[in-house]
């Protein structure tokens, strides 16, 4: 009896490992939603996929019923980014696309400040956060009261805040910026205000990296850091180059300037994705949140992505089951006081208006 059970178990294990050995596309042909499985087969085994596919099908049905769209940040897990997300991109792209969305409901597969930004730009729509605890170390590093104090200390100095901030902080700001447009925004503000000093908050490293490109303007920084990007060191980059000869290093400007100095190119997540599209390096490493490489790699099977992994724990709080639950229950709607929203929206819209 025991022998038979062991033999049956071994047969099943052999069949499973044979299935796992087949490449993703092949194995996926006999699975549900094979076109989607082909996009995530690097991360999800054929044995696991039917469970994911069940969630994906339920979410797609709920999206139709609720007239909902899902915005997926570049750092979102591959099983969300490549399956149920309707619009993907960096925070600037999501902010812009949120304006054009015609759905009644927006689900943010990102972190809380992104959902607030979507709500600011779409006040009549329901914006759902699948997990209200999905925060951000940068957004948590500064409060509206901090900005009011800074304004007292630096009277007449304009305030530019990174979009990775709460709506309350945006409401105290003159302009927002993203890592993709920060240089353009500070140049614009300096010219428009006729000043050569700007408070650039709260990401110290972004401010210091931008400072190198605008030596004519003094950027006053804050001590906020992204807990993902601050972990990279210059030695990490040197080790990557030694262990992966010829690798092209692309770094996010939330990394310390000493790390950016070791890179071949620095840019926002959108800039990095565009660089890969344009230059098609043979071997590349993206010095940023590690899901980004997983998501960009889907469209570039011929490029070798070296993948050191620093995950954002806040992004990881968003899952297929909690997206499904948000759409089922319509719980987790983001609300912002209308008077505060108006001031915060103005800072975001001033940024978007700079082309
Ligand atoms: S990666 Fe960094 S900046 Fe982005 S959400 Fe996570 S903690 Fe915030």
- CATH number of the domain enclosing 85: 3.40.50.10800
**Residue 273 domain-assigned?**
yes
Protein residue closest via CA to atom 3 of ligand 1: 226
CA of 227 to the centre of ligand 1 (A): 7
Instruction: Quote the longest CA-to-CA distance of the chain.
Output: 87
d(CA 286, CA 200): 25
**Residue 10 domain-assigned?**
yes
Protein residue closest via CA to atom 8 of ligand 1: 136
| Cis check: omega of the bond before 202, within 30 degrees of 0 | yes
Q: Assess contact for 258 and 238: CB atoms under 8 A.
A: no
- Residue 331 makes CB contacts below 8 A (sequence gap 6+) with 128, 325
CA of 75 to the centre of ligand 1 (A): 9
* pLDDT reported for residue 194: 98
100 and 8 fall within a common domain: yes
Q: Ligand 1 within 6 A of 312 CB?
A: yes
57 and 106 fall within a common domain: yes
CA of 298 to the centre of ligand 1 (A): 22
CA of 139 to the centre of ligand 1 (A): 9
> For the whole model, what pTM was predicted?
0.89
* pLDDT reported for residue 17: 34
CA of 82 to the centre of ligand 1 (A): 20
* pLDDT reported for residue 27: 52
Protein residue closest via CA to atom 1 of ligand 1: 312
Q: Which of 206, 226, 317 has most ligand 1 atoms within 8 Å of its beta carbon, as the pocket-test mutant?
A: 226
21 and 119 fall within a common domain: yes
Instruction: Collect the ranges in the chain with pLDDT lower than 50.
Output: 1-25
d(CA 128, CA 69): 10
- Say how far residue 257 (Cα) sits from the centre of its chain: 20
**Residue 339 domain-assigned?**
no
Q: Assess contact for 189 and 159: CB atoms under 8 A.
A: no
Q: Ligand 1 within 6 A of 225 CB?
A: no
CA of 288 to the centre of ligand 1 (A): 10
Protein residue closest via CA to atom 2 of ligand 1: 226
* pLDDT reported for residue 355: 73
* pLDDT reported for residue 1: 30
119 and 33 fall within a common domain: yes
**Residue 341 domain-assigned?**
no
Per-residue burial over 214-240, b if 16 or more Cβ lie within 10 Å, else e, is beebebbbbebbbbbbbebebebbeeb
CA of 138 to the centre of ligand 1 (A): 7
Q: And the tokens for 154?
A: 């630096």
Protein residue closest via CA to atom 5 of ligand 1: 136
pLDDT, tens digit, 9 for 90 and up, residues 303-335: 999 998 899 999 999 999 999 999 999 999 999
14 and 100 fall within a common domain: yes
Count: domains in the chain: 3
174 and 251 fall within a common domain: no
Q: Ligand 1 within 6 A of 138 CB?
A: yes
d(CA 212, CA 200): 13
Q: Ligand 1 within 6 A of 211 CB?
A: no
Parent domain of 290: 229-311
**In the listed set 202, 225, 248, which residue is the last one of a domain according to the structure?**
225
Beta strands in the chain (DSSP E): 68-73, 87-89, 105-109, 126-128, 159-162, 175-177, 197-201, 218-220, 248-251, 265-266, 283-287, 304-306
* pLDDT reported for residue 99: 80
Angle between helices 338-353 and 112-121 (to 10 degrees): 90
16 and 127 fall within a common domain: yes
The minimum-distance atom of ligand 1 relative to the CA of 313 is 6
């Amino acid at each position: 009896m025991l022998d038979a059970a062991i033999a049956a178990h071994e047969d099943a294990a052999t069949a499973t490992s044979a299935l796992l050995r087949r490449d993703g596309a092949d194995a996926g042909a006999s699975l549900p939603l094979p076109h989607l499985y082909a996009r995530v087969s690097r991360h999800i085994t054929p044995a696991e996929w039917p469970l994911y596919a069940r969630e994906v099908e339920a979410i797609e049905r709920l999206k139709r019923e609720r007239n909902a769209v899902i915005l997926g940040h570049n750092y979102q897990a591959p099983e969300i980014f490549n399956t149920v997300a309707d619009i993907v991109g960096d925070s600037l792209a999501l902010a812009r696309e949120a304006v054009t969305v015609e759905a009644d409901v927006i689900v943010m597969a990102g972190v809380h400040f992104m959902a607030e930004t979507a709500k600011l730009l779409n006040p009549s729509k329901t914006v759902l956060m699948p997990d209200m605890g999905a925060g951000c170390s940068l957004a948590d590093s500064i409060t509206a009261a901090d900005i009011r104090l800074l304004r007292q200390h630096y009277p007449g100095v304009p305030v530019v805040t990174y979009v990775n901030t709460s709506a309350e902080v945006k409401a105290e700001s003159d302009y927002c910026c993203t890592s993709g447009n920060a240089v353009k925004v500070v140049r614009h503000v300096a010219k428009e205000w006729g000043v050569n000093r700007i408070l650039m908050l709260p990401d110290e490293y972004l401010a210091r990296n931008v400072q190198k490109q605008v030596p004519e303007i003094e950027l006053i920084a804050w001590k906020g850091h992204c807990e993902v990007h601050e972990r990279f060191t210059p030695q990490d980059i040197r080790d990557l180059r030694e262990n992966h000869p010829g690798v092209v290093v692309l770094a996010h400007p939330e990394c310390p300037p000493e790390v950016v100095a070791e890179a071949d190119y620095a840019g926002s997540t959108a800039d990095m994705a565009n660089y890969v599209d344009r230059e098609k390096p043979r071997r590349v490493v993206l010095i940023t949140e590690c899901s980004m490489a997983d998501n960009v790699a889907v469209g570039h099977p011929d490029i070798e992505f070296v993948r050191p992994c620093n995950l954002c724990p806040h992004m990881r709080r968003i899952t297929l089951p909690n997206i499904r639950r948000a759409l089922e229950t319509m719980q987790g709607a983001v609300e912002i006081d209308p008077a505060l929203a108006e001031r915060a929206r103005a800072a975001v819209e001033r940024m978007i208006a700079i082309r």
